[in-house]
């Protein structure tokens, strides 16, 4: 559980880019947001848990906007990279009015990131959060990790760019017990292609399928594996 100074993180991004590696920083909201509700408890949701920002609170969007201004604004932004990830993962869909607020929040963050000249990246959750509030599609990159949250064929039909990162194939959560400790290399070699997103198949070379990824989540710190 370490941290970077802003100067160090900017330099990390620039040094990685010089080696052909793109860093995509993420500010995850409105779920997975305990760091924000710990700082300002009034932003947390009493109904859905303090890891959820309270989307009915008018202070939430200005607070998040101030973070993007802090990290993306100015002549030498901390996030000195072409893409920024806005999160939008695993928020409650228990009430439709909250779903619509979530969709509006997602759309707002996409436009916020784009206003700084960056491409927005998101987890999506727009199958989980099905509603009528429009969310921008054009030139938005979605990480497709679980079809129940963002159904790949539906997202493709809308026009989202997709990165294939299905959890049961490509997630490592060392020593946690709920995902693999290591990648299953033989299985990936025999079965994996970015055009097959957890059983939803697209044509190889489809222009909206931008590639594949794997993820290492260090939920268990000091796990002895990664």
Residue 79 has a CB neighbour count (10 Å cut-off) of: 25
Identify the three-state secondary structure at position 83.
strand
Model confidence pLDDT, tens digit, residues 170-226: 999 999 999 999 999 999 999 999 999 999 999 999 999 999 999 999 899 888 875
- Give the C-alpha separation, 211 to 147, whole Å: 17
Instruction: For 84-105, give the secondary structure using H, E and C.
Output: EEEECCCCCCCCHHHHHHHHHH
Q: What is the mean pLDDT of the chain?
A: 96
**Which residue stretches of the chain have pLDDT < 50?**
none
Cα 175 to Cα 135, 138, 188, 201, 217: the distances in Å are: 37, 39, 21, 31, 10
pTM of the model: 0.95
| Helix or strand run (H / E) with residue 8 | helix 6-18
Q: Which residues contact 70 (CB under 8 A, 6 or more apart)?
A: 78
Question: Residue 226's pLDDT is what?
Answer: 57
- Give the C-alpha separation, 80 to 100, whole Å: 32
């Amino acid at each position: 559980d370490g941290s970077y100074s802003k100067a160090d993180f900017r330099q990390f991004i620039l040094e990685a880019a010089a080696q052909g590696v793109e860093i995509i920083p993420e500010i995850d909201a409105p779920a997975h947001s305990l760091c924000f509700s710990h700082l300002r408890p009034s932003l947390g949701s009493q109904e859905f848990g303090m890891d959820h920002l309270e989307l009915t609170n008018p202070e939430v969007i200005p607070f998040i906007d101030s973070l993007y201004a802090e990290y993306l604004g100015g002549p030498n932004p901390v996030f000195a990279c072409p893409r920024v990830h806005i999160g939008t993962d695993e928020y409650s869909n228990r009430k439709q009015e909250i779903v619509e607020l979530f969709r509006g929040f997602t759309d707002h963050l996409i436009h916020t990131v784009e206003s700084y000249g960056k491409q927005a990246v998101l987890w999506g959750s727009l199958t989980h959060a099905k509603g009528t509030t429009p969310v921008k599609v054009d030139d938005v990159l979605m990480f497709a990790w679980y079809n129940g949250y963002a159904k790949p064929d539906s997202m493709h039909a809308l026009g989202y760019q997709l990165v294939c990162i299905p959890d049961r194939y490509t997630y490592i959560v060392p020593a946690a017990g709920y995902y693999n400790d290591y990648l299953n290399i033989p299985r990936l070699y025999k079965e994996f292609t970015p055009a097959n997103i957890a059983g939803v198949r697209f044509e190889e070379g489809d222009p909206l399928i931008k590639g594949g990824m794997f993820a290492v989540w260090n939920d268990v710190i000091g796990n002895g594996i990664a």
